[in-house]
Amino acid sequence: MGLTVEQECPQCGAPIGLEETDHLIQCPYCSVKSFLFAPDYFRLVLPHNAPDKDIIYVPYLRFKGNTYACQGQAIGHRIIDITHLGTPVKGLPISLGLRPQAMKMKFVTPDTAGSFLRCSLKMDDVLSKVGKHASGTGQLFHRAYIGETVSLIYLPLFVQKETIFDAIIDQPIVKLTGTEDMFGSTAEKPLRWKLTFMSTLCPQCGWNLEGDRDSVVLTCNNCDTAWAASEGKFVRVDIAVVPDQGDKTVYLPFWKITARAEGIEINSFADFIRVTNQPKVVQEDWENQDMSYWCPAFKIRPRIFLRLLSQLTVSQKDFETEGTIPKRGLYPVTMPQSEAAQSMKLTLANSAMTKRDTFPMLPQVHFAIKNAELVYFPFTDKGHDMVQERMGVSINKKSLEYGRHL
């Protein structure tokens, strides 16, 4: 279940209801579009019923996403959704349970009244706990977190008569022991937590950028460009489109990342075929072909995600492409390039025919990225499946729909 957030329109102040995966918002009253951007991750507060109290907000780290573990001779995977207390204050609940899903939250702003405890728990600490849920048996060689949503959720509390109260239900949680101020030395101000509402005008031509609510890449149909948010501004994304004239065509996006592997000899497609021991005869021209790793640019179930990683990367088929963005049928990009880059080790591991030989090399493998490109492939709607016949790829439509909520 996803989270629901209430946000005021930056233009007219009208209330807007958002899902946690939403980036592109449009006010239903003034129709102004904005792209939400946070420098690290979103910070949210749970609503409380104690307006006359001095509220102290306690941080909880939230992780939702897919975890993968290359362990033994298999890749374990699981979809995880957890919250974890981010401060050492004793007696507080370790998790928020279902509260974030059951209540409408708001973004933290510099105007949010109250004190905020510093989050002392590192995300790596939480992820190490998360990773154990996806672990199997045998030695662990690599762990990856793909398609994750990371945020800080603050639980409102107040102190009364040496007792910490839950400000949501006005019930005591724990009795304070000792005379020290448990909160005073760790409080921080949310001065730098302000959300950036980015204008959705094309930086190149000034036309309106297009995308879905959960898109992380927006496109301009006027000058055929694509843009992703970085450090509060839009940066251009290299794109290519495999053309098609079908009436039921849907263009699914994939990241094509060309990279050189360090710690293992993979500088060409021929090297990849040899290292993964593919049942293919190495062609002479493969020796000079740069190695490209393909990754879905959309969220989808782990099992299908792994299949697509290997299926597209091992095939390395060449297609004639163009730079013109289709006017319809464009599937949203919900997987940023940064996360696609994290999948390259998984591609190597999942493609290996002899995993007992390849897995032990994974800890030493590093990638030097040469180029990244967003490629749209035409898929045909066949009823239950989306099919790309030239690549021999089929994706269940229900899995695509479910991926929008991961």
> Residue ranges per domain, the chain?
38-196, 238-403
Does position 179 have pLDDT exceeding 50, yes or no?
Answer: no
Percent of the chain with pLDDT over 90: 49
Give residue 370's Cα distance to chain centre: 22
Separation between Cα atoms, residue 35 and residue 47, nearest integer Å: 24
**What are the tens digits of pLDDT across the range 277-314?**
999 899 999 999 999 999 999 999 999 999 999 999 99
Give residue 327's Cα distance to chain centre: 26
Residues 6+ apart with CB under 8 A from 242: 319, 320, 321, 375, 376, 377, 378
Mean pLDDT of 33-42: 86
Mean pLDDT of 159-172: 89
Nearest residue to 75 via CA among 146, 148, 149, 140: 140
Which of the four pLDDT bands, split at 50, 70 and 90, describes residue 320? Answer: confident
Q: What is the pLDDT of residue 91?
A: 84
**Spatial contact of 351 and 314, defined as CB atoms under 8 Å apart:** yes
Separation between Cα atoms, residue 195 and residue 108, nearest integer Å: 8
Does position 184 have pLDDT exceeding 60, yes or no?
Answer: no
Separation between Cα atoms, residue 345 and residue 1, nearest integer Å: 29
Measured over the CA atoms of residue 37, residue 42, residue 43 and residue 46, the dihedral's sign is: positive
Q: What is the pLDDT of residue 242?
A: 93
Q: What is the pLDDT of residue 334?
A: 94
Which of the four pLDDT bands, split at 50, 70 and 90, describes residue 130? Answer: low
Mean pLDDT of 102-131: 80
Nearest residue to 100 via CA among 58, 46, 171: 46
CA angle 294, 253, 404 (to 5 degrees): 110
Which of the four pLDDT bands, split at 50, 70 and 90, describes residue 178? Answer: low
**Spatial contact of 67 and 77, defined as CB atoms under 8 Å apart:** yes
Across the strands, what pairs with 377?
A: 252
DSSP 210: B
Residue with tokens 């939702």: 64
Across the strands, what pairs with 163?
A: 160, 175
Residues counted in the chain = 406
Mean pLDDT of 6-35: 86
Which structure tokens are listed for 202? 């094309």
Q: What is the pLDDT of residue 319?
A: 84
**What are the tens digits of pLDDT across the range 216-250?**
999 999 999 999 998 889 999 999 999 987 778 99
End-to-end CA distance of the chain: 9
Residue 304 DSSP SS3: helix
**Spatial contact of 402 and 301, defined as CB atoms under 8 Å apart:** yes
Residue of higher predicted confidence among 177 and 312: 312
Q: What is the pLDDT of residue 135?
A: 54
Residue 300 DSSP SS3: coil
Separation between Cα atoms, residue 347 and residue 358, nearest integer Å: 12
Q: Using CB atoms within 10 Å of the CB of residue 54, give its burial: 0 to 12 exposed, 13 to 18 middle, 19+ buried.
A: middle
Separation between Cα atoms, residue 306 and residue 126, nearest integer Å: 24
Which structure tokens are listed for 195? 């959300």
Which structure tokens are listed for 201? 């005008």
**Spatial contact of 87 and 186, defined as CB atoms under 8 Å apart:** yes
Nearest residue to 211 via CA among 200, 219, 221: 219
Q: Using CB atoms within 10 Å of the CB of residue 224, give its burial: 0 to 12 exposed, 13 to 18 middle, 19+ buried.
A: middle
Which of the four pLDDT bands, split at 50, 70 and 90, describes residue 13? Answer: confident
Across the strands, what pairs with 393?
A: 388
Q: Using CB atoms within 10 Å of the CB of residue 260, give its burial: 0 to 12 exposed, 13 to 18 middle, 19+ buried.
A: middle
Which of the four pLDDT bands, split at 50, 70 and 90, describes residue 45? Answer: very high
Q: Where are the alpha helices (DSSP H) in 20-119?
A: 99-102
Which structure tokens are listed for 261? 């592997």
Does position 379 have pLDDT exceeding 90, yes or no?
Answer: yes
Residues 6+ apart with CB under 8 A from 101: 1, 2, 3
Round the average pLDDT of the chain to a whole number and report it: 88
Q: What is the CA radius of gyration of the chain?
A: 24
The H helix count followed by the E strand count for the chain is 8, 23
